[in-house]
Amino acid sequence: MPAPEPPVDLDTAEHGALVHLPRVTDDAAVPTDPRRSDVDEWGRSERMRALARQLYDPVYRHLFRAEWEGLDKIPTDGGALLVANHAAAIPSDAPVIMHGIETELQRPVYGLADNLFKSLPFVGTMWSRVGGVTAHPDNAYRLLREQHQLVLVFPEGSKGPAKHYSQRYRLRRFGRGGFVEIAMRAGVPVVPIAVVGAEESMPILLNIPQLAKAFGLPYAPITANHLLFGPLLGSILYLPAKFKLRVLDPVHFDIEPDLPRYSKSRVMDEAEAIRQQIQEALFDMLRTRESVWFG
């Protein structure tokens, strides 16, 4: 299924209510009372998420043939902010990351994304049911600090998926480093993830800024998929690019959580260092890749 658009920059956070959420299990008991619901305060339904995993698994295993390196570096308990590069006109990396972690580690992953998707009829509801959360500092803080969850964020924002194919695997600026400040305030590590394969799954050949402006979209692309499958199917069918994902060492900040403010210069320095780590990992992975489609 297509991934939601990436989050906006995260800069501030406030406290929220404490809620404990269950770990992911595909065979979780279904309430006997039909009036009861398993939908949590974020709109996520474990039954819907289990169904999504079941439907998406063939795409993950047979179309993208996802391969992980360093998956054991993702904490099995406690909060952590997962940060990755972002690509494809309709991003394919978010569902791959969420599916892999949930199936391998049995931990739920909440993906932060732009409020645009929350506002879309039906799409917004389904996005929430499978783990999408509006990108807002308050939401990120509560999930990380108070609920000890894994949260996925793409600091490139819409600049990542909007890249022309000729600019693939060249990371854009990581916003103003808001994701680092959230991690500091929540007292959790940042876990960088380098993703190879998404760039080729739906590569952009041309952007039409006038069309994007007319519809209030961040970009309006013409992709290779559109040329191969037509305008409708080309918007939902991915090319069979092989995915490789490398989890880098978690970044811990030796700083007290919940301070009223954090040094902007340090936040920016840490954000740039994390961006550079992911960029170097991508270049290394590309050097050893035998084929876009097979290895």
Residue 36 within a domain? no
Query: What is the Cα–Cα distance from 115 to 7, expressed in whole angstroms?
Result: 8
Beta-carbon contacts of 242 under 8 Å, excluding residues fewer than 6 positions away, are 64, 65, 67, 197, 291, 292, 293, 294, 295
Q: Show the tokens assigned to 37.
A: 């619901």
**Residue 23 covered by a domain:** no
Question: Does 3 map to a domain?
Answer: no
Residue 41: inside a domain, yes or no? no
CA dist., res. 82 & res. 262, Å (int): 20
pLDDT tens by residue, 226-272: 999 999 999 999 999 999 999 999 999 999 999 999 999 999 999 99
What pLDDT sits at residue 80? 98
The sign of the CA dihedral 235, 88, 249, 155 is negative
Number of domains within the chain? 1
- Chain centroid to Cα 169, Å, comes to 16
Neighbours of 113 (CB within 10 A): 25
Q: Is residue 12 part of a domain?
A: no
Per-residue confidence (pLDDT) for residue 116, from 0 to 100: 64
- Cα separation, 54 vs 174, whole angstroms: 33
| Residue 52 domain flag | yes
pLDDT at 168 (0 to 100) = 94
Considering the domain boundaries, does residue 24 fall inside one? no
The domain containing residue 81 runs over which residues?
46-288
Within a domain: residue 273?
yes
Residue environment code for 54-63, b if the CB has 16+ CB neighbours within 10 A, otherwise e? eebeebbeeb
For tokens 């978690």, name the residue.
250
Beta bridge pairs of residue 221: 207
- Residues ≥6 apart with Cβ < 8 Å to 102: 24, 49, 53, 108, 109
CATH classification at residue 255: 3.40.1130
pLDDT less than 70: residues of the chain? 1-36, 115-120
Q: What is the pTM of this model?
A: 0.85
Other CB atoms within 10 Å distance of the CB of residue 209: 10
Chain-centroid distance of CA 211 in Å reads 26
Q: Is 222 exposed, middle or buried (0-12, 13-18, 19+ CB in 10 A)?
A: middle
Amino acid at 140: A
Q: Would you tell me how many other CB atoms lie within 10 Å of the CB of residue 91?
A: 23
